[in-house]
Amino acid sequence: MDNEHVKGAADKVKGAVKDTAGKITGDKELQAEGKFDKAKGAAHNVAGDVKDAARSGARAVEDAAKK
């Protein structure tokens, strides 16, 4: 798991806590922050997936060049 995936997981958890706390307390601002943090976490996960795909592609090119 790379750094982007770790950040994504952390932001998703933080967002879920804020979202739930906002719902319980009726704090719409906290709830909105939670939704934003969850979206930010998803974006980090996408960035991590792109990096993983790029690494895999680079490895495939290297392997093909060795043959």
Global pTM value = 0.80
CB-CB neighbours of 48 under 10 Å: 19
From CA 45, how far away is CA 28, in angstroms rounded?
26
- The per-residue pLDDT string of the chain (67 residues; one tens digit each, 9 = 90 and over) reads 789 999 999 999 999 999 999 999 999 999 999 999 999 999 999 999 999 999 889 888 888 888 7
In 8-47, which positions are buried (b, 16+ CB within 10 angstroms) versus exposed (e)?
Answer: beebbebbeebbeebeeeeeeebbebbeebbebbeebbeb
Would you kindly state where each structural domain of the chain is located, as residue ranges? 3-51
